[in-house]
Amino acid sequence: MNIKYLYTKIAAFLIAVPMLFAGCTKSFEELRIDPEGVLSAQPSSFLSNALYRANSTFIYRGQSINNQLMQVTAGRTADNEIHRYVLKPLIYDQLWLTYSQIANIEEMLNLSIKIGDKNYTAIAYTLKAYMVSILTDTHGDIPFTEAFKGNQGIIRPVFDEQKLIYDTLLDNLETANGLYDLTKVLSGEDILFSANTSAANIIKWKKFTNALHIRLLMRVAHKSQVYEQKLRDILADPATYPLMSSVAESAVIYHTNIAPNLNPFYNTTDLVFSSSVGFTEFFVNSMNVIGDPRLPLWATKVSGTYRGVPTAYPFEDQDLVSGSSWSTYVNTLKKSNLFGSIIQYAEQEFILAEACLKGYMNDDAKKHYDNGVKASCNHWGIATADIPAAFLSNPAIVYNGTLEQIITQKYYALFMNDFQQWFEYRRTGFPVLGSGPSAQNNGVLPVRIPYPTDIAAYNAVNYAAVVARNGKDDLNTKVWWQKP
C-alpha cells in the first residue's frame, strides 16, 4: 500500500473516529454492504463483524509487536527490528483503527438499551471493555468519554486518564454480569458462542464477562485496596460471578476459514508469515529442553532440531541471520482455527493460581496452575491423556509455589493471544528476559507504544495536554498501572 495514502487515511480517521458510530456493517455475511444504507439497524447487526475485525487486528499486530518484544520471535530482515526495540509508526498506527469497531459496539450498546435487550447490552459492555482495555494498556491515556460524540460536535476528543477508563470498564463489567438473561437466545449471529442457537450458551458470555473482569482487576489490584477487594469478592462468590469451567467455554473465535471468518493470516504469504522471522533461542530452547508438546505444533525444525535466532543479534550478523535457516512458524498455522483467542480457560486458571498464591482466594493454587498447563495443551489439540508424563513431571513444570513459574507458564499459554504476554511482563517482570547486543532504547524493553503519528497535528491541544500530564510520548513513559 502507498504509505502516503495510508497516512492520509489514518489522519482522516483520527478526526472522524468520534462520528463512526453511525457507520457500521449490517451483518457478518454482508461485510461489503454500504452501512449508510441500513434503515433500521438492530443490536445484532453489529456483533459478529465488529468482534471479528477487532480480534483479527489485535492478533495480527500482536504477532509482529508482542511476539518480538517478548522474545517469541525475532525479525530476520534488516527492516524488521522490533526485537531490537525499534518500532516504526507504520507498524503500530493501525491499532488505532480499532476505534471504528469500538464505535460499532457503542452503537450496539445504545440500540440495545433503547429496545431493552439486556443480553446485547451486557455483551456490548463486555466487548467494549475487551477492546478498550487493549488500547489503553498499549498506549496509556486515550480518548474515551468523548470518543464517540461526533454528533455533538466533538471531533477532537480529550485523552482520559487510564484510571478513569479502568474504573468505567470495571463498572461496566459489573453491570453486564447482572444483566444476562440466561433463558433468552440472541436474535442474530454469534460467532463466539452461538448463543443465537441456544439460550444455554448465554452462560458462556456471562463467564467470559467475569473472566475478563478478573483479568483487569488482577492487572490493577496492586493500585488500590478497592480493586483487590473487588477481586476477592468475585472469586468468593461463584454463584453470582460464574467463571469458565473448561476449555470448551474459552472466549475464542474458532475460524471456519470460510470467508469472511478467516484466520487473520489466511491470505498472508509464507514469506511475510514465517520466512521473515524466526523463533528465538529463548523461546524454542526453553520449550525444547522440557519436551513441551506444543512446540512441534508451532515451530519447524532445521536439520532435525530446533534452531532459534538470537534476539537483538549483532548488526554485523544481519547477512548471516538473513541467509540461514531457523525454526519458524509451521505454515499450517495460517489456516489454524485457533488464532482467535480473546481469553482462554488456561489464562483464567493461571489468574486463579496467582490469586490463590497472593491470598486473594481461598483455594488450591497448584490445582489451578495444573489446570492452566493442561488446558493450554488441550486448546492446541493435545488431549490430557496424550500430554507426555515426562513433561508434566519436569521440575520446570511441577508447581513450585512461585509467581515467576505461574507467569512463565502463562506466557507460553498466551502464545498468539494479542498483547497479553507483554502486558503481563510489564505487570510482573516475568518471564525473565535478557537483552541482545544490538538492542536499542538503551536496552530497555518498551513499556508502551506511542500515539499514532498524526495525533499531534490533528488533535494538537488534547495531545499536548496528555503529554504534559504524563511525560514524553515515547516507549518509556509508564502507564498508570505500572507506576508505583
Mean pLDDT to the nearest integer, 310-326:
94
pLDDT digits (tens, 9 = 90+) for 405-458: 999 999 999 999 999 999 999 999 999 999 999 999 999 999 999 999 999 999
> Has residue 103 got a pLDDT over 50?
yes
Beta-bridged to residue 159, according to DSSP, are 143
Per-residue pLDDT band at 199 (split at 50, 70, 90): very high
| pLDDT at position 395 | 96
Mean pLDDT to the nearest integer, 374-399:
98
> Has residue 205 got a pLDDT over 90?
yes
Q: Which strand (E) or helix (H) includes residue 110?
A: helix 99-115
| pLDDT at position 89 | 86
Separation between Cα atoms, residue 374 and residue 348, nearest integer Å = 13
Phi and psi dihedrals of 473, rounded to 5?
-85, 75
Separation between Cα atoms, residue 126 and residue 120, nearest integer Å = 10
Q: Provide CB contacts within 8 A for 448, sequence distance 6+.
A: 138, 139, 140, 475, 476, 477, 478, 479
Mean pLDDT to the nearest integer, 102-111:
96
The domain made up of 1-241+447-478 is a member of CATH 1.20.1260.10: no
List the domain boundaries for the chain: 1-241+447-478, 283-324+341-434
Per-residue pLDDT band at 275 (split at 50, 70, 90): confident
Q: Which strand (E) or helix (H) includes residue 134?
A: helix 118-139
What CATH superfamily is the domain 283-324+341-434? SusD-like, tetratrico peptide repeats domain (1.20.120.840)
pLDDT digits (tens, 9 = 90+) for 253-264: 999 999 999 999
Mapped onto helix, strand or coil, the DSSP state of residue 342 is strand
Hey, what's the cell of 375? 488446558
Per-residue pLDDT band at 94 (split at 50, 70, 90): confident
Strands (DSSP E) found in 340-436:
341-343
Q: How far from the centroid of its chain's Cα atoms is residue 313's Cα?
A: 27
| pLDDT at position 39 | 54
* Residues 445, 433 contacting (CB under 8 angstroms): yes
Separation between Cα atoms, residue 212 and residue 133, nearest integer Å = 10
Hey, what's the cell of 336? 489454524
Separation between Cα atoms, residue 160 and residue 52, nearest integer Å = 26
Among the listed residues 278, 208, 287, 285, the one whose alpha carbon sits nearest the alpha carbon of residue 243:
208
> Has residue 240 got a pLDDT over 90?
yes
As separate numbers, helices (DSSP H) first and strands (DSSP E) second, the chain gives 19, 6
Hey, what's the cell of 474? 515515547
> Has residue 368 got a pLDDT over 70?
yes
Hey, what's the cell of 279? 523463533
| pLDDT at position 290 | 97
pLDDT digits (tens, 9 = 90+) for 111-131: 999 999 999 999 999 999 999
With cell 508447581, the residue in question is 399
Mapped onto helix, strand or coil, the DSSP state of residue 211 is helix
- In whole angstroms, how far apart are CA 367 and each of 244, 375, 422? 15, 12, 25
> Positive or negative, the Cα torsion across 463, 469, 472, 478?
negative
Q: Which strand (E) or helix (H) includes residue 164?
A: helix 162-179
Q: Provide CB contacts within 8 A for 105, sequence distance 6+.
A: 46, 50, 124, 127, 128, 131
Mean pLDDT to the nearest integer, 384-401:
98
Beta-bridged to residue 73, according to DSSP, are 279
If phi > 0 it is left, if psi is from -120 to 50 it is alpha, else beta; for residue 160 that is beta
Number of Cβ atoms within 10 Å of the Cβ of 225: 9
Per-residue pLDDT band at 484 (split at 50, 70, 90): confident
The more confidently predicted of residues 220 and 151 is 220
- What crossing angle do the helices spanning 403-413 and 345-357 adopt, rounded to 10°? 170
| pLDDT at position 34 | 52
pLDDT digits (tens, 9 = 90+) for 9-57: 444 444 444 434 333 444 545 544 554 444 568 999 999 999 999 999 9
| pLDDT at position 184 | 97
The more confidently predicted of residues 79 and 17 is 79
| pLDDT at position 30 | 52
Do the first three CATH levels of 1-241+447-478 and 283-324+341-434 match, i.e. the same topology? no
